[in-house]
């Protein structure tokens, strides 16, 4: 993956953002991590500078939490679903919820994958490597 590739992380928890940055570094993923602190920020980023709904240049993957203020992950998935120009953007839900209803709803709304957030840092690194290989086409 090119060094200027971007991953959008929509996550409101500062600790989870810190852990994701550390896991990406440990997994040797070469990409810029762009953080949206809630669903509304994620939609604003995806809207691009002109608000036209076009995916910003170099964005290769979105990691999406479900439970966020202002606009939750389900609303973000619905918004993306209504913007066909973003249909090539792989969205992976990373949530603390292991409820089958959340998993099913996320997939119905277009999430390509659903992962329960690991409690252990080493498991998070393993997950990041797996996501990297699967969605970005390169093993770190």
pLDDT, tens digit (0-9, with 9 covering 90-100), for 19-78: 999 999 999 998 999 999 999 999 999 987 655 555 566 889 999 999 999 999 999 999
Per-residue pLDDT, averaged over 75-90, amounts to 93
70 Ramachandran zone, left/alpha/beta (phi>0; psi -120 to 50): left
What does the block give as tokens for 64? 């999406």
Q: Cα–Cα distance between 84 and 87 in angstroms, integer?
A: 5
Per-residue pLDDT, averaged over 75-86, amounts to 94
Three-state secondary-structure class, residue 29: coil
Task: Please tell me the pTM assigned to this model.
Answer: 0.90
pLDDT, tens digit (0-9, with 9 covering 90-100), for 100-127: 999 999 999 999 999 999 999 999 999 9
Nearest in space to 137 (alpha carbons), one of 86, 90, 85: 90
Instruction: Set out the domains of the chain in order of their start, with CATH numbers.
Output: 6-135 (3.40.50.2300)
Give the bridge partners for 115, in sequence order: 94
């Amino acid at each position: 993956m090119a060094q200027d590739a971007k991953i959008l992380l929509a996550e409101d928890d500062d600790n989870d953002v810190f852990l994701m940055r550390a896991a990406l570094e440990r997994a040797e993923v070469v990409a810029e991590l762009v953080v949206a602190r809630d669903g509304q920020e994620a939609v604003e980023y995806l809207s691009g500078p002109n608000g036209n709904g076009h995916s910003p240049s170099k964005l290769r993957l979105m990691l999406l939490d479900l439970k966020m203020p202002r606009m939750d992950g389900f609303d973000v998935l619905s918004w993306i679903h209504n913007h066909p120009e973003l249909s090539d953007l792989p969205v992976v839900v990373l949530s603390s919820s292991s409820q089958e209803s959340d998993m099913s709803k996320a997939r119905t709304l277009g999430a390509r994958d659903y992962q329960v957030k690991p409690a252990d840092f080493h498991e998070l690194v393993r997950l990041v490597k797996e996501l990297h290989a699967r969605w970005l086409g390169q093993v770190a």
